[in-house]
């Protein structure tokens, strides 16, 4: 019976939180649609991670270890995903909308000659049909889709889905797969990693302090970092700021940057352009600090301060430091 296939692209010693979210959703869907939950675990040096997938309710793990000196190429990942789809014959394939899945999903759907919905924020089954919800028009409307071809390929927005709370007492059956590519057209020559910033990762953070052009210049960016540090928050930025080179592009939040879903998102000197809002529609509480009371960001903010950040942010950071001892 066709089941659900999730594709986990892994690196390092731990499964990412988004893999747990994919597994949680795959298990939930398989209860409604029937069939087993299979995972393709693809990446470099990942043998040790297969067991953790059993704990997330996955019944079978197809292990594709790239073993190479460099991260797997997109072509190799595509071949692994295609092979896993062929072996497990799923009705639904889930990938993360980020961390490799965002690029892999459309290529895979093309190879399988089927439909894809990207950046889904909710899934449900109605009369045996998968209904996929996603924000459209930069987050200003919500649309529902169903895919008429099979399998349905769906990329899931990170942090929009719940990871399983209690680990399943399951041991997954593990099978190795060896994707064959007909000579890689793309070769990874060098992996360049941006210097890791301190504090939590933007995508997983529960609290984010984000700065915009209203800060005036890179010399004022430390005010954002200091506030983030006292709150134990990650730092984000608008594209205006990353394009200007004040901070690395990896901090950009929005349509063409990261999608985030923190419990608290504090914006400083951000106007609230639709492309920025597209990346924060999953934020539970937005706090806006902007001197223009008509700024668009206030439409999305639960709390707002109309004022000059220079009068608000340093004083707020200082008070927080005092309160936290």
State the residues that interact with ligand FAD by CB under 6 A: 212-214, 238-241, 252-257, 269-271, 273, 275-276, 279, 289-292, 295, 308-310
Shortest distance, CB of residue 221 to ligand FAD, whole angstroms? 12
The residue among 63 and 233 lying less far from ligand FAD, judged by its C-beta, is 233
CB of 231 to ligand FAD, least distance (A): 19
Q: How far apart are CA 253 and CA 29, in angstroms?
A: 30
Contacts of 305-312 spanning 24+ positions with Cβ under 8 A: 309/214, 309/215, 309/223, 309/268, 309/269
If the CB atoms of residues 117 and 241 are measured against ligand FAD, the closer one turns out to be: 241
The answer to whether 173 touches 60, Cβ cutoff 8 Å, is yes
Q: How far is the CB of 224 from ligand FAD (least distance, A)?
A: 12
Select 212 or 304, whichever has its Cβ closest to ligand FAD: 212
Q: Are 291 and 306 contacting, i.e. CB atoms less than 8 angstroms apart? A: yes
Beta strand pairing call for 129-136 and 122-126: antiparallel
Residue 281 CB, shortest distance to ligand FAD, in Å, is: 12
| DSSP secondary structure code for residue 258 in this structure | B
* 66 vs 238 by CB, closer to ligand FAD: 238
Between 179 and 212, whose beta carbon lies closer to ligand FAD?
Answer: 212
Q: Which is nearer to ligand FAD, 172 or 288 (CB)?
A: 288
CB of 24 to ligand FAD, least distance (A): 27
Quote the least distance from Cβ 240 to ligand FAD, whole Å: 3
When the beta carbons of 22 and 253 are compared against ligand FAD, the nearer one is 253
Q: Which residues pair with 43 in a beta bridge?
A: 10, 65
Please give, one letter per residue, the 3-state secondary structure of 24-83.
Answer: HHHHHHHHHHCCCEEEEEEECCCHHHHHHHHHCCCCEEEEEECCCCCCCCHHHHHHHHHH
Q: How much is the CA Rg of the chain, to the nearest whole Å?
A: 21
Q: Which is nearer to ligand FAD, 76 or 309 (CB)?
A: 309
The torsion region of residue 75 among left (phi > 0), alpha (psi -120 to 50) and beta comes to alpha
Q: How far is the CB of 242 from ligand FAD (least distance, A)?
A: 8
**Which is nearest to 59 in space by CA: 184, 223, 209, 171?**
171
- Whole-number Å distance between alpha carbons of 259 and 204: 10
Cα 130 from chain centre: 21
Residue 30 or 121: which CB sits closer to ligand FAD?
A: 121
Q: Which of 312, 316, 282, 314 is nearest to 300 (CA)?
A: 282
> Minimum Å distance from CB 235 to ligand FAD?
14
Q: How far is the CB of 229 from ligand FAD (least distance, A)?
A: 20
Do residues 83 and 179 lie in contact, with contact meaning Cβ atoms separated by under 8 Å?
yes
């Amino acid at each position: 019976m066709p089941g659900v296939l999730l594709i986990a692209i892994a690196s390092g010693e731990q499964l990412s939180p988004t893999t747990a979210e994919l597994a949680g959703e795959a298990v939930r869907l398989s209860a409604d649609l029937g069939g087993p939950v299979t995972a393709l675990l693809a990446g470099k040096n990942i043998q040790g991670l297969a067991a953790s997938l059993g704990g997330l309710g996955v019944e079978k793990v197809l292990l594709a270890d790239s073993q190479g000196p460099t991260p797997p190429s997109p072509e190799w990942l595509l071949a692994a995903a295609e092979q896993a789809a062929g072996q497990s014959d799923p009705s639904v394939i889930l990938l993360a909308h980020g961390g490799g899945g965002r690029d892999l999903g459309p290529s895979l759907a093309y190879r399988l000659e089927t439909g894809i919905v990207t950046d889904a924020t909710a899934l449900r089954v109605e009369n045996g049909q998968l209904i996929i919800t996603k924000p459209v028009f930069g987050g200003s409307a919500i649309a529902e889709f169903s895919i008429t071809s099979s399998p349905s390929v769906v990329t899931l927005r990170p942090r929009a889905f719940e990871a399983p709370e209690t680990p399943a007492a399951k041991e997954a059956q593990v099978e190795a797969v060896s994707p064959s590519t007909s000579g890689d057209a793309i070769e990874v020559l060098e992996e360049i990693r941006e210097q890791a910033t301190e504090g939590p990762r933007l995508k997983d953070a529960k609290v984010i302090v984000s700065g915009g052009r209203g800060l005036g210049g890179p010399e004022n960016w430390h005010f954002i970092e200091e506030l983030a540090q006292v709150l134990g928050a990650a730092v984000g930025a608008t594209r205006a700021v990353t394009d200007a080179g004040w901070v690395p592009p990896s901090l950009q939040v929005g349509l063409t940057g990261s999608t985030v879903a923190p419990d608290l998102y504090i914006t400083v000197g951000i106007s609230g352009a639709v492309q920025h809002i597209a990346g924060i529609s999953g934020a539970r509480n937005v706090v806006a600090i902007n001197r223009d009371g008509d700024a668009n960001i206030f439409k999305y903010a639960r709390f707002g301060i109309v004022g000059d950040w220079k009068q608000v942010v340093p004083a707020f950071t200082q008070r927080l430091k005092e309160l936290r001892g």
